[in-house]
């Protein structure tokens, strides 16, 4: 079984499916067995999902509501 640090190094590639099939399977297996790595994987995937959503996020004209709390 892969060690956690080996999984960590490949996780970014894993999210893109950019690894050989055998590595993809080995990481999947590790994620089923490990108590630490699944949370890391979920967190990284959520980060990538948010980044992807930023491409087509509607553009609001005018000020950022975050900077506009006085209104």
Partner 1 sequence: MPEDPHLMPPTPLDDATIRELEPFLLRLAGRAVRDAVLARDIVQATFLSLLEPTSTYDASRGMVRSYLAGVLMRKVADHYRRQRRERVTGDFDETADGLDERVAFDPSRAMHPIDRSRAMSVIDRALSRLPDQQRLVVLACDVEQMDRAEAASSLGITEGNLRVLLHRGRHELRKALEDAEMR
- Which of 49, 43, 11 lies closest to 30 in space, CA to CA? 11
CA distance 71 to 68: 6
By beta-carbon proximity to partner 1, the closer residue of 24 and 40 is 40
By beta-carbon proximity to Zn ion, the closer residue of 35 and 60 is 35
Instruction: Give the x-and-dash track for 21-60 against partner 1 (CB under 8 A).
Output: --------------xx--xx--xx-xxx-xxxxxxxx-x-
CA distance 63 to 49: 25
Q: Does 63 bind partner 1 (CB under 8 A)?
A: no
């Amino acid at each position: 079984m892969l060690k956690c640090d080996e999984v960590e190094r490949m996780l970014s590639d894993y999210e893109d499916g950019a690894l050989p099939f055998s590595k993809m399977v080995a990481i999947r297996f590790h994620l089923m067995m490990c108590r630490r790595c699944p949370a890391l994987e979920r967190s990284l995937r959520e980060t990538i999902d948010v980044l992807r959503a930023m491409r087509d996020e509607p553009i609001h004209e005018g000020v950022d509501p975050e900077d506009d709390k006085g209104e």
